[in-house]
Amino acid sequence: MAFKLADLPYAYDALTPYIDARTMEIHHTKHHAAYTNNLNAAIDGTEWADMSILDIFKNVSKASPAIRNNGGGFYNHNLFWENMTPNAMTTPSEQMNIHKAIMRDFGSFENFKKEFSAAAATRFGSGWAWLCVDNSDKLFITSTPNQDNPLMDIAEKKGTPVLALDVWEHAYYLHYQNRRPDYIEAFFNVINWHEVTKRYNDANEGASNF
């Protein structure tokens, strides 16, 4: 059983001007494809070959660096593509559960945005920023290095991710060069809040194991 690279849910140029078509195409067809292929090569013929990606993450401290890095790269990018859309609302609507949870746990959308943006901007080197749900249904923001994620047993803060932002330079350098804060600001124009609130609802329904 091999992991498969899924198509993007929109065209490569769909997120312009916030994320340019060339960045999206290289990111998907080169970077994400390489993580997927390298993950399959790393698990082939091993005890990891028939495990789900979530089971791999739960035991990843015992896995090789190739499985940890490429497993994260495979999964994190799937979340990232799906939590963006060309038809984005700039904020979640008041009816959405994610809106209510953001108000409850951050006080305001602006506070949430500030904290998430700071986590993304201050992650040193390559990594990811996350909005997650913990096992008591509370939202928290965290960041991880490299291709780690909050589902991994080695994560400093564990939870179910509902929003992911890739802050590797390959995600923004062609268009933004060293201006990571501008890329983070642009990301807020393409967030798929329908997908984020769906993940939040699913996490509430006992999908979380932490």
Q: Are strands 127-133 and 160-166 parallel, antiparallel or unpaired?
A: antiparallel
Please, which residue, 63 or 79, has the CB nearer to Mn ion? 79
d(CA 80, CA 193) in angstroms, rounded, equals: 12
CB atoms within 10 A of CB 206: 7
Shortest Cβ 38–Mn ion spacing (Å): 13
Of the residues 158, 166, 190, 195, which one makes contact with Mn ion according to CB under 5 A: 166
Please, which residue, 148 or 166, has the CB nearer to Mn ion? 166
Is residue 148 a contact point for Mn ion (CB under 5 A)?
no
Shortest Cβ 169–Mn ion spacing (Å): 9
3-state helix, strand, coil in the chain (%, to 5): 50, 10, 40
Please, which residue, 116 or 168, has the CB nearer to Mn ion? 168
Q: What angle separates helix 97-106 from helix 193-202, to the nearest 10 degrees?
A: 80
Select from 10-18, 42-50, 121-129, 158-166 the region that touches Mn ion (CB under 5 A).
158-166
Select from 52-60, 106-114, 131-139, 166-174 the region that touches Mn ion (CB under 5 A).
166-174
Q: Are 37 and 52 in contact (CB under 8 A)?
A: no
Please, which residue, 73 or 92, has the CB nearer to Mn ion? 73
Select from 39-47, 113-121, 122-130, 165-173 the region that touches Mn ion (CB under 5 A).
165-173
Shortest Cβ 17–Mn ion spacing (Å): 20
Please, which residue, 95 or 178, has the CB nearer to Mn ion? 178
Select from 61-69, 117-125, 147-155, 164-172 the region that touches Mn ion (CB under 5 A).
164-172
CB atoms within 10 A of CB 116: 22
Write the single-letter amino acid at 192.
N
- Size of site (CB under 5 A) for Mn ion: 2
Which DSSP string do the residues of 96-165 spell out, in sequence order?
SHHHHHHHHHHSSHHHHHHHHHHHHHHS-SSEEEEEEE-TTS-EEEEEEETT--TTSTT-SS--EEEEEE
Residues that bind Mn ion (CB under 5 A): 166, 168
